[in-house]
Amino acid sequence: MTKATNTVTPEKLSPDLVERYRSQGFVHVPRVLSADEVREFLADAAELLDLHEKASWDEEGHGNVMDWVAAPEAKSAVMRRLALHPGITRIAEKLAGQPLRMFKSELLRKRTIGATRTPLHIDNPAFPIAGADVTLTAWVALVDVPTERGCLTFIPGSHVWPEGSGASSAEPFDARPELRWWPQATIPLRAGDCTFHHSRTVHMAGTNETDTARISLATVYMDATATYHPTPEETYQDEVVGIEPGGPLDTPRYPRVGLTG
Ligand SMILES: O=C(O)CCC(=O)C(=O)O
């Protein structure tokens, strides 16, 4: 049995790590979950992936990128505990430097041998949220994710988009050709580790060349005072219900996080 004291808590985060997140646009935090938590969350995740309808991302000519159960926190109390996990969300608040709400969560599965890479992209254009200075994703590995299982790769520092370049859903190398020559950081994760990335950080993931599915929970947190800002590019606005443009995203669907634990 793994003791809770082995996990990395918000109190143990070094100022260096927070600084690194702000300058690089991502950070790897090992052991945000104990081994017991990983076991419990993985068992529940596997059941949800079996039982529920899944959305699927296919890339023409390349095959399946991944499939996912949307809003798992609304389907399972166990997944809700993970999406709102006090340790993870308080780390997210430390990185963001302010109070946050959950915007959405997705239970991701990159299938076994043959699942193709996740193309290079940024997340921000898909979010109908005014202002993107704060929005970030916690990507929690529920199985070991070595490079050959399709771990995430980030372009450090790419979250700072030059004035006027307009962070958009265009292919990042088309929008900013210089990024082709920037170093990339590929981050293998052990089960229970987490990466946090800013919504404007350019990132991708590799193929899954193993016979074990890559299972993870990706949860997006936003400024606690964020408002609804629909634009034609945004793909998640259909999911925003009962909030007028300009209104606060403060209904129970977008709970405050980091408050306990
Ligand atoms: O899991 C992946 O392959 C990609 C995830 C991603 O792009 C994200 O969580 O922003």
Give nearest CA residue, ligand 1 atom 7.
Answer: 204
Which atom of ligand 1 is nearest to 106's Cα? 9
Whether the Cβ atoms of residue 153 and residue 204 lie closer than 8 Å to each other: yes
**Residue-wise pLDDT tens digits, 41-77:** 999 999 999 999 999 998 888 889 999 999 999 999 9
Q: Is 233 exposed, middle or buried (0-12, 13-18, 19+ CB in 10 A)?
A: middle
Tokens standing for 156?
A: 């450090």
For the cut 70, the answer to whether the pLDDT of residue 246 exceeds it is yes
Q: Is 136 exposed, middle or buried (0-12, 13-18, 19+ CB in 10 A)?
A: buried
| pLDDT of the residue at 230 | 86
| pLDDT of the residue at 169 | 67
| pLDDT of the residue at 237 | 64
Which atom of ligand 1 is nearest to 150's Cα? 3
Cβ 93 under 6 angstroms from ligand 1: no
Residue type, position 226, single letter: A
**Ligand 1: centre distance to CA 153 (Å):** 10
Q: Which of 69, 136, 148, 203 to mutate to test the pocket of ligand 1 (most atoms within 8 A of CB)?
A: 203
Which atom of ligand 1 is nearest to 66's Cα? 3
Give nearest CA residue, ligand 1 atom 9.
Answer: 218
Distance CA 168, CA 175 (A): 8
Mention every residue, 6+ apart, whose C-beta is less than 8 A from residue 67: 54, 55, 56, 57, 108, 109, 111
For 61: left if phi > 0, alpha if psi spans -120 to 50, otherwise beta; the answer is left
For the cut 70, the answer to whether the pLDDT of residue 233 exceeds it is no
| pLDDT of the residue at 62 | 86
**Ligand 1: centre distance to CA 228 (Å):** 23
Which atom of ligand 1 is nearest to 214's Cα? 1
**Ligand 1: centre distance to CA 178 (Å):** 23
**Ligand 1: centre distance to CA 199 (Å):** 11
The 3-class SS string of 237-254 reads HHHCCCCCCCCECCCCCC
Residue type, position 84, single letter: L
pLDDT class for 25, splitting at 50, 70, 90?
A: very high
Cβ 187 under 6 angstroms from ligand 1: no
The alpha-helical segments, DSSP class H, found in the chain are 15-24, 35-51, 77-83, 86-96, 172-175
